[in-house]
Structure 1
Amino acid sequence: MSRPRTIRLRRTGARPAPAALGLAREAARAGLRRIHGLHALRSAAALGGAVALARLTGALIETGELDDPALGLAVACALAGAWLAAAIEGRSAVLEAEVGAGLIDAAQAQLTAMPARTATALPRGALIAGLQRHPGALARLVVGHAAARRMMALGPLLTAATLASVSWQAALALVLASPVMIVFFALVGGMIRERAAAQEAALGRLATQFADRVRALPTILAAHSLAHEAGKLDRRLRAYSVGTMGVLAVAFLNAGVLDFFSSLTIAILAVFLGLGHLGLAEIPGFAGLALWQSLLILLLAPEYFAPFRRYAELYHAKAEGEAAADALAWVFPQDATAGAVIVGPRLEAPGVRGLVLPHTGPVPDFDLPRTGLVALTGPSGAGKSTLLRVLAGVEAPRAGAVRLPEAGPRTWVSLENPVPAGTLHHALTDGVVAPPEALARAAAALGLADDPHWPGGLDAPVRAGAENLSGGQRMRIAVARLLLRPGLAFCDEPTAKLDPVNAARVRQALRAAARHRLVVVATHDPALAALADRRVSLGATPLERQAA
Structure 2
Amino acid sequence: MRRLYALMALRCTATLLGSVGLARLAGPLIETGQLDAVALGLAVAGVGAAAWLGGSVERCAAGLEATVAGRLIDAAERRLAAMPARAAAALPRGALIVGLQRHPGALARLAVGHAAARRMTALGPVMTAAAMAVVSWQAALVLLLASPVMIVLFVLVGGIISERAAVQEAALGRLATQFADRVRTLPTILAAHGLTRESEKLDRRLEAYAAGTLGVLAVAFLNAGVLDFFASLAIAILAVFLGLGHLGLAAVPGFAGLALWQSLLILLLAPEFFATLRRYAELYHAKAEGEAAADALAWMFPPNAKDEAAEEAPILAVPGVRSLVLPHAGSVPDFDLPARGLFALTGPSGAGKSTLLRVLARVEAPLAGTVRLPADRPPTWVSVENPVLAGPLRRALAEGSRATPEAVARAAARLGLTDDPHWPGGLDAPVGAGAENLSGGQRVRIAVARLLLRPGLAFGDEPTAKLDPLNAARVRQALWDASRTRLVIVATHDPALAALADRRVDLGDAPAERHAA
- Give the structure-1-normalised TM-score: 0.58
Cα distance in 2, alignment partners of residues 339 and 211 from structure 1: 33
Assess if the C-alpha contact under 8 Å between 2:20 and 2:265 holds in 1. yes
SS of the aligned residue for 2:297 comes to helix
Cα distance in 2, alignment partners of residues 329 and 259 from structure 1: 36
* Residue identity opposite 1:261 in structure 2: F
Deviations 1:459-507 (A, max 9, x none): xx995772659xxxxxxxxxxxxxx99xxxxxxxxxxxxxxxxxxxxxx
Cα distance in 2, alignment partners of residues 418 and 137 from structure 1: 39
Cα distance in 2, alignment partners of residues 309 and 116 from structure 1: 47
1:176 alignment partner in structure 2: 145
Question: Does 2:212 correspond to 1:248?
Answer: no
Which protein, 1 or 2, shows the higher relative CO under an 8 Å CA cutoff with sep ≥ 6?
1
Deviations 1:281-301 (A, max 9, x none): 110000000000000000000
1:52 alignment partner in structure 2: 21
Cα distance in 2, alignment partners of residues 227 and 215 from structure 1: 17
Cα distance in 2, alignment partners of residues 289 and 395 from structure 1: 77
Q: What's the CA shift for 1:420?
A: 2.8
Aligned partner of 1:146 among 106, 115, 130: 115
Cα distance in 2, alignment partners of residues 151 and 248 from structure 1: 23
1:234 alignment partner in structure 2: 203
Cα distance in 2, alignment partners of residues 316 and 465 from structure 1: 46
Cα distance in 1, alignment partners of residues 277 and 96 from structure 2: 35
- Give the structure-2-normalised TM-score: 0.61
Aligned partner of 2:292 among 320, 323, 331: 323
2:453 alignment partner in structure 1: none
Aligned partner of 1:222 among 185, 191, 202: 191
* Residue identity opposite 2:138 in structure 1: Q
SS of the aligned residue for 1:259 comes to helix
| Alignment: residue pair count | 340
Question: Does 2:63 correspond to 1:106?
Answer: no
CA pair 418-309 structure 1, distance change in 2 beyond 3 A:
farther
Aligned partner of 2:171 among 195, 202, 215: 202
Cα distance in 2, alignment partners of residues 76 and 249 from structure 1: 39
Cα distance in 2, alignment partners of residues 422 and 92 from structure 1: 47
CA pair 395-92 structure 1, distance change in 2 beyond 3 A:
farther
Q: What's the CA shift for 1:78?
A: 1.2
* Residue identity opposite 2:289 in structure 1: E
Assess if the C-alpha contact under 8 Å between 2:24 and 2:261 holds in 1. yes
Q: Counterparts of 1:321-360 in structure 2 under 5 Å? A: 321-336=290-305
1:421 alignment partner in structure 2: 388
Q: What's the CA shift for 1:117?
A: 2.1
Q: Counterparts of 1:234-313 in structure 2 under 5 Å? A: 234-313=203-282
1:466 alignment partner in structure 2: 434
Assess if the C-alpha contact under 8 Å between 1:134 and 1:328 holds in 2. yes
* Residue identity opposite 1:466 in structure 2: G
Cα distance in 1, alignment partners of residues 112 and 11 from structure 2: 17
Cα distance in 1, alignment partners of residues 11 and 52 from structure 2: 9
1:116 alignment partner in structure 2: 85
Q: Counterparts of 1:435-450 in structure 2 under 5 Å? A: none
Over aligned residues, Cα RMSD in angstroms?
Answer: 3.2
Cα distance in 1, alignment partners of residues 125 and 206 from structure 2: 42
* Residue identity opposite 1:189 in structure 2: G
Cα distance in 2, alignment partners of residues 50 and 112 from structure 1: 55
Assess if the C-alpha contact under 8 Å between 2:8 and 2:57 holds in 1. yes
Structure 2's unaligned 5+ residue stretches are: 312-362, 368-383, 391-421, 424-428, 438-460, 463-509, 513-517
Q: What's the CA shift for 1:158?
A: 0.3
Cα distance in 2, alignment partners of residues 97 and 107 from structure 1: 15
2:63 alignment partner in structure 1: 94
Deviations 1:189-238 (A, max 9, x none): 00000111111122111111100000100011111111111111100110
Deviations 1:166-197 (A, max 9, x none): 00100000000000010000000000001111
Deviations 1:433-454 (A, max 9, x none): xxxxxxxxxxxxxxxxxxxxxx
Cα distance in 2, alignment partners of residues 152 and 261 from structure 1: 16
Aligned partner of 1:83 among 48, 52, 64: 52
Structure 1's unaligned 5+ residue stretches are: 1-31, 343-393, 397-402, 404-416, 424-454, 470-483, 486-515, 519-548
Assess if the C-alpha contact under 8 Å between 2:389 and 2:434 holds in 1. no
Assess if the C-alpha contact under 8 Å between 1:92 and 1:144 holds in 2. yes
CA pair 216-294 structure 1, distance change in 2 beyond 3 A:
same
Between the two proteins, what is the percent identity of the paired residues?
A: 70
Assess if the C-alpha contact under 8 Å between 1:46 and 1:77 holds in 2. yes
* Residue identity opposite 1:242 in structure 2: A
CA pair 114-465 structure 1, distance change in 2 beyond 3 A:
farther
Structure 1 stretches (4+) deviating beyond 3 angstroms? 336-340, 461-465
Question: Does 2:42 correspond to 1:73?
Answer: yes
Cα distance in 1, alignment partners of residues 277 and 121 from structure 2: 6
The structure with the larger Rg is 2
SS of the aligned residue for 2:34 comes to coil
Cα distance in 2, alignment partners of residues 224 and 272 from structure 1: 74
